[in-house]
Amino acid sequence: MWQCIKRAKHGKEECPYCKAIPEEILEDCFVQGYKILCNDNRKVVENFLEKIENILKENTTETMVSKLEKDKKKINKKLANLLELNLEGKINKEQYTEKFDNLNVELLKVEQRIERLLKETNRTESIKLRLNKFKSLFKNIDIMPKFDKDVFECLIDKVVIGEIEQDGTINPYIIRFICKNGTEIVKTNLLL
């Protein structure tokens, strides 16, 4: 069951007209709305997909990781040279310790940054996979015959149930899917 987050957190007084909605109804409405969106707004969806794809292509994480790996090698080389200088007696223990500590701190920062960027790369790859799945469904003649969670999560920012009509009447039988690009998919006559 899905219900208003305000009602769930603060009680019925916060959202008195809200009704809990079985997940199956929400999923069916999304599938119907998605089909309408794809058929009526094919150009909008294509532009949306293209924008997401361009953003993902602009990701320079791999280049940054490569540069940081080179920095890491340089620091390790400096550490090796520092050890050599210490063993040859060309620098004293205090100088060695101070430089060693500074280089280790620098190395740790580089390694942490590499780790963060690799996590970002994994997240980006996951988004690319979902986007490709979404694109293949979009091109399919039988557009998404049943609910697909990946498409839903890739496309939808939030779901709004009900609305207040111009005359002030509350209509709880409207479901509105707000897409991440601002486009709305509206399904009316929602039967609860």
pLDDT, tens digit (0-9, with 9 covering 90-100), for 60-82: 677 788 899 999 999 999 999 99
Find out whether 19 and 192 touch, Cβ atoms under 8 Å. yes
Give dist(CA 53, CA 58) in Å, integer.
9
Phi, psi of 78 (to 5 degrees): -60, -40
pLDDT per residue as tens digits for the range 106-147: 999 999 999 988 887 777 777 777 777 766 666 654 566 788
160: pLDDT confidence band, cut at 50, 70 and 90? confident
- pLDDT at position 99 is 93
- pLDDT at position 137 is 61
Q: Which of 96, 103, 53, 55 is nearest to 77 (CA)?
A: 103
The residue written with tokens 């839903």 in the block is 152
